[in-house]
Amino acid sequence: MKNQTKEQLFRIITESSFALDEAIQFLDTHPGNQEALDYYHHYQDIYKKALKEYQECYGPINQKDVAQEDYWTWVTTPWPWEGEC
Amino acid sequence: MDNRQQMYGRYNRGYRQQRSRYPSQPSSVSPTRDYNKCDDYDMAVDKAIDKCVNNLPLAMAYVPMQKWENVCDAPSGLAMGSIFKDLVKPYYPVLQKRGDR
Amino acid sequence: MWEYQKKLQYPVNIKCPDANAAKIIITQLGGPDGELAASMRYISQRYAMPYRDVAGILTDIGTEELAHMEMVSTIVYQLTRGLSAQELIDSGLDVYFVDHTNGIWPQAASGAPFTSAYFQSKGDPITDLHEDMAAEQKARTTYDNILNLVSDPDVTDPIKFLRQREINHYQRFGEALRNVTERLNADNFYYINPSLTGGKIFDK
C-alpha cells in the first residue's frame, strides 16, 4: 500500500468497497458459504489498509476517522458530487 | 421471559422443511404444451426444466440459488457492476442503435 | 443507524451538461421505480421481517439504494449546472429551474413529487419479497429506457452500473424468498403470516 498516489488509493478503496458490498449481499442469503466469507475477509483487509493510509495522508472518508487534528477537514475536502470536471 | 431468541436461533441456523400437517395435494395432470410441435433440442431442454420446476409446490415463485462461482476480482467487478459474471446481462438499446432521434 | 462515506459507490464525472437527459434521469431519483422509493421500501419492510437473514438483505440493499440515490442526484446535478437560460427554456427544464434552481428535489420525470404511495410495506415476508423483486425489475426497465434515450458515455457509464445492480438485487431477493419458503410448510405457504408469530409457523 506504500507509495500509492491519492488517486490510486481512492480507486483501491472504491473497488474493494464494492467487492465487499457484493460479498455482503451474497452472504446475507448464503450465510454459511465459506468461499464467500474468505473473499469478504480478503477484501476487508485490503479495504481497511487503503482506507487507513488514504485518511491519514489525504483526508477523511469516514466522519469517525478524521485524522487531522488541527482543522476539521471533513468540511474542507471535496464532496463526491462535485466531480472532477 | 422473552423466548424470541430461542425461536430465532432455530430459524436462523439452517433451512429445514417442516413436517407437513396437510394431506398431499394430487398433482395436476394436464400437459402445458404440445410436444409434437417442438424440435428435438427444445424438447430435451424443456423436459429437463420441467422435471425440476414442475415438481415444486404450486402458487409460488422460485429463483435458483446462486452458487459461488465465476467470481471476478474487485476492479473487474466494479467496471461490470457485478463481481458475478453469471449475473452480467447487458441491454441492447434498440432506439439508440436504430438512430431514432 | 447510518454513517456516511465521502465517496460515491461508482464515480460520476460528466463533462457536458444536458438538460434533456436530466429531465428523464431525475425519475430514478424521485419517481415511482426510483432509488429513493427502493430504499424506503426495503428499509421500511425490514422491521416486521421475522427472519434475521432477510432483515439483513433488506437493510443492506436498502442502504445501497441510498448510495444509488446519491449517484442519480449527482448525475442530475452535473447535467444541470451551468445551463444557459435558452437551454433551460428549449428543454422545458425551466419549469423545474423556477422552483428549484440547480437544487435537487425528488420528483418523477412527469414532475410528480415523491410519495410513499410508490411503495408498499405489507408486513408479510412472501408479499414484501415479491414487491421487492418487482421493484428491481421496474427499476431495470427504467434504466433500459434511459439507455434508449441518452448516448453520452459519461452518463451511460454510471447508468449501466446502476442497471446491473438491479439485476443482482433481483437475484438476492429471489434467494431471500427461497430462504423464507424453505422455513414454511410446503403444502401451504400461506397458512400463517410468520411475522405475526415471531417466525413460528405453528401458532400455539
The 3-class SS string of C138-181 reads: HHHHHHHHHHHHCCCHHHHHHHHHHHHHHHHHHHHHHHHHHHHH
Quick one: closest CA in A to B64, which residue?
A: A29
Extents of the domains making up chain B: 28-96
- Average of per-residue pLDDT across C140-145: 98
Torsion of CA C21, C142, C54, C65, to 10 degrees: 0
Handedness of CA C37, C39, C42, C45 (dihedral sign): negative
Contacting residues of C for B89, CB less than 8 Å apart? 164, 167
Extents of the domains making up chain A: 6-75
Which residue of A22, A33, A34, A49 to mutate against B (max B Cβ within 10 Å)? A22
Percentage of residues of chain C with pLDDT beyond 70: 99
The pLDDT score that the predictor gives to residue B37 is: 52
Per-residue pLDDT tens for A60-70?
Answer: 999 999 999 99
Contacting residues of B for A16, CB less than 8 Å apart? 74
CATH tag for C19-186 (out of 2.140.10.10, 3.20.20.10, 1.10.1240.10, 1.20.1260.10): 1.20.1260.10
Phi-psi region of A12 (alpha: psi -120 to 50; beta: other; left: phi over 0): alpha
CA distance C103 to C184: 48
| Confidence label for B40 from pLDDT (cuts 50, 70 and 90) | low
Q: How far is CA A52 from CA A45, A61, A63, C70, in A?
A: 11, 10, 13, 24
Tell me if B74 and A23 make a contact (CB, 8 A cut-off).
no
| ipTM surpassing 0.85 | yes
Tell me if A26 and B66 make a contact (CB, 8 A cut-off).
yes
Q: How far is CA B92 from CA A34, A47, C144, C160, in A?
A: 36, 34, 8, 11
The pLDDT score that the predictor gives to residue C87 is: 97
Torsion of CA C52, C57, C60, C64, to 10 degrees: -160
- Average of per-residue pLDDT across B78-84: 98
Tell me if A15 and B66 make a contact (CB, 8 A cut-off).
no
Per-residue pLDDT tens for C161-173?
Answer: 999 999 999 999 9
Neighbours of chain A (3+ CB pairs under 8 A): B, C
Q: How far is CA C119 from CA A85, C136, C157, in A?
A: 36, 12, 28
Q: Is the Cβ–Cβ distance between B39 and B56 less than 8 Å?
A: no
The three cell numbers of residue C60 are 443492506
CA distance A11 to B51: 47
The pLDDT score that the predictor gives to residue C193 is: 97
Q: Is B71 on the interface with A (CB under 8 A)?
A: yes
Element spanning C100, H or E? helix C94-100
* B11 has a pLDDT exceeding 60: no
The pLDDT score that the predictor gives to residue B39 is: 58
Which residue of C10, C148, C196, C197 to mutate against B (max B Cβ within 10 Å)? C148
Tell me which residue has cell 478503496: A13
